[in-house]
Structure 1
């Protein structure tokens, strides 16, 4: 597909173009090819696109696999991937551009731009600033309220997100600690729209895509027929990669767009990191570059970081994670979204950057490959390969499972109407809305009114209650905890404590609303 680039975009595209590879691959190209092939073989990845920038130039581009397993359509550098939470740095960049233009300040109260914004604590509402939306210091718990965003599709709007925040109770005091959240990035997108005078998606196209030549990226609503090749998410079923249905026609805007909804190709992402690795690039002022890569909120330095990377520092900037790796400065982020994994790793002092895009369930593959590629620059050692880091991850998981084995739910059976009589009815949570625990067939169903994929059957596991989801793509089963007293709250919790934090069952508190229809 041909794409017209405006003059500024054409200039950026020319500077960060993807050169044709010579018959004899450059050292970086050969290294990346070998590492990618090892990761694909180890983790049976459906498709992957990886690129490396060295000293301002693209040094390696590697694609493997298919857009959809079994389709015969290869992954190419212009194939669209969901970059998930790597969207956050683009949202922060839109705000930074607006700050450069004098349309907002980082210390503006959020309510200056969104008067309807409310947190649970009125004091926090008054004092939360625009910069606080980006650095995960709100006092909310990990992933609080994410069930309004995922699983998709659902009918929660951005207005619902803003209204729902008032009902999410904090777990720590404001600005006292780090806990990753997505909802406040949705709010950040709405602040940008209010300050910029146009919808968030229009601002991303105007302030990021156009000046950097990222014309393949998609944000907001867009048409499949007007885009390039599209990588489809996959899930693992009986040891196979199974692609989700292909999208057709108009792809709608989604509520989570500013937190994790942007799609880009490898070509586009290499232009994105090229602009960040060039401190003289006029797209963003030095002041805003410093703000983005300043550690505004300290983060824990985990055991893995200390042992693998000799890290001493970890913090969150404006849409970026900051740390030190083997004595080198690292700026990075990851993205995870329903069968799509991404990673961006920048080593600014070395003018080096890495992009990894995968269209499958690939948490370990992303971690391992990111380590191997980064070590080429921070601590070259042929022993630090895919097999080495994969073995370390397997050992970590084994030790965790020994310490905290998964509950045995193999004895599950459908709950009967008689034993579930005290649970029947429509229950309501103030931010998630209603769920129905009502007879379905010869058992009991669980059905969310606003999140249609969250429907399942109520099961018994010994003396416990479990919700077995109908949709295999909702991959975090839930314990159901009845009220401890009459008029009390019904709650949920994860069966697997390591399941994705966006299944924030623990933040739900249902009260009985009425009888089943």
Structure 2
């Protein structure tokens, strides 16, 4: 199947060329009374049933197309493209169903083929209410799309059909988590894990300041009988961030820092790009995801092992924000890492940065809360009662993974390197719910400095904001304070419902388990507020989506890789700042090692005629490198969020 979308992505249909900027986020309403929130400072134009919003950079567009009646989602999507840009042409990569909701009876997502060199995004979402369709089209620069994810999400999350009245829990009395209601949540977790083939899950439920249930479902590792329980250790990834900002709160109580204080007052070695940017960086900027610094994860994913904690500051010195402070949500692990290490340096100035952070977290946070199983030590984490990571192999089967990849976080561990358990995380949630008290009632941190982390900062979508290592969402008019964590084979989340006095923790040991986290929150809200039953259907839709994604990935690759392409590779490529990519051949099988990613090589033929090497080992994270040459030397080019890394052969 092909639809219209030319390779000249930066051109705009002539009928839509005259545009006016949207001065502020505002609810837009078209002739059919479809409403949505328009992104701030994007140029807007309308022509008949098509309204287009163009990002300030001019190279990314979101179109809202009122299609009306159509035979099905495919016909509606095709019609939307013809109305938006009749000259278009692009091959469909994947079509998946989304869960109905927000007034829509049907939701179908389509992604399109793009080549890595093109650095483009092309996607459509078709929404049906009764017999009428609306289609959202996103197309243009991948770099700008990665930079402006919050604005794209805002339009997609806020669109509603005519006459829809959103669900609201405002003013409702929350149900208590009685044993019967706890069982509803436990049953949901067990059934969801079975549907998604997640080997193990641990949860904890808190109500009225007390842990009302904690425990596990399933096993720590496929093929073994050891069960998951509340004391099973998982990597909690970016949920470490909220704990690291809690350390900063404790240090603020001690008078060692102020949120509005320049970082260089406290740590003179700190540098972020230019002198002006460095001087402007305050303590809160390290953890607000609002400084305009894009993700730079490949800089440590592809790095050779053994970097010290100070590498965080080396990399930040070489980075410059791509938007103004406070302008956009851009998530960056290095800034959060710097925040934690700043805390360690203030607490123990005579110790090495990493050791100082570890000790500060132990003495200021973990010990006072009784989090005895929470650690940054991989030797401890990977011993005794611990959950092994799992992910999909190339054929879409769930398999046990090595945990080697996740060791990459060690030099930057304040951003995501903690191991913890459901029981320990429950104590952290109790502290958050009590606004600074330990489960035993002892004051660990002041309410003022604890809740400072929750203040709404930069928007990240509809009714959602990033604070400092924490997020807040308004769901059906009630507040949810939360954060998630992702590493290979590990996903986690915790949720606070402050108005209800309820909290929850969920930890999973499989990449497929990431699809449980949102529905788990939905089920929690259904149980606490008698919400509409939607969570179970969300799980079923997620399972079907994961299966189709795995099939599409496998179909796009040649496994083993194209022999002619593989035979033409050099054995070693180097990047002057990142490290090396090594290509080996053993018993006729070609493999690639790039930093912490390694595996057999598959190849992909791209739409522009180029060829990519793709590591085909199991797990969520792979490396795609485009084969090329530069000045007569063979190259491999790897790209991430907003960066490009060109590796050149070593002769």
Instruction: Tell me which residue corresponds to 1:263.
Output: 419
Alpha-carbon deviations, 1:395-448, whole Å to 9, x = none? 8889999xx99983348503458866xx88743243x23445799998987554
Distance 1:384 1:474 in 2: 27
Higher normalized strand content (fraction of residues): 2
Instruction: Tell me which residue corresponds to 1:309.
Output: none
Aligned length: 456
1:453 and 2:603 matched: no
User: Please, what TM-score do these two structures have when normalized by structure 1?
Assistant: 0.78
Matches within 5 A, 1:217-228: 217-220=374-377, 222-223=379-380
Q: What's the RMSD between the two structures over aligned residues? A: 3.6
SS in 1 for 2:249: helix
- Does the CA-based 8 Å contact 1:414-1:444 persist in structure 2? no
1:389 and 2:545 matched: no
- Does the CA-based 8 Å contact 2:311-2:411 persist in structure 1? no
Offset at residue 291 of structure 1 (A): 0.7
Distance 2:483 2:233 in 1: 18
Structure of greater relative contact order (alpha carbons < 8 Å, 6+ residues apart): 1
Distance 2:564 2:335 in 1: 38
Matches within 5 A, 1:462-477: 463-469=609-615, 471-473=617-619, 475-477=621-623
Offset at residue 165 of structure 1 (A): 2.4
1:491 and 2:637 matched: yes
Offset at residue 175 of structure 1 (A): 3.0
2:498 to 322, 325, 348: 348
Gaps of at least 5 residues in structure 1 are 1-24, 302-312, 494-503
- Does the CA-based 8 Å contact 1:47-1:67 persist in structure 2? yes
My pick for the range that moved more, 91-100 or 122-131, is 122-131
Offset at residue 161 of structure 1 (A): 2.6
Alpha-carbon deviations, 1:25-65, whole Å to 9, x = none? 81232111221122122112101111211111222334111
SS in 2 for 1:509: strand
Distance 1:466 1:150 in 2: 19
Cα 1:48–1:447 change in 2 (3 A) is closer
Instruction: Tell me which residue corresponds to 1:294.
Output: 455
Instruction: Tell me which residue corresponds to 2:370.
Output: 213
Distance 1:474 1:37 in 2: 23
1:203 to 333, 341, 360: 360
1:187 and 2:348 matched: no
2:387 to 231, 234, 253: 231
Instruction: Tell me which residue corresponds to 1:140.
Output: 293
Cα 1:46–1:444 change in 2 (3 A) is closer
Instruction: Tell me which residue corresponds to 2:200.
Output: 47
Instruction: Tell me which residue corresponds to 1:306.
Output: none
Cα 1:110–1:83 change in 2 (3 A) is same
Distance 2:264 2:466 in 1: 23
Distance 1:399 1:461 in 2: 20
- Does the CA-based 8 Å contact 1:222-1:252 persist in structure 2? no
1:28 and 2:181 matched: yes
Instruction: Tell me which residue corresponds to 1:508.
Output: 644
Instruction: Tell me which residue corresponds to 1:242.
Output: 399
Instruction: Tell me which residue corresponds to 1:333.
Output: 483
- Does the CA-based 8 Å contact 2:583-2:591 persist in structure 1? yes
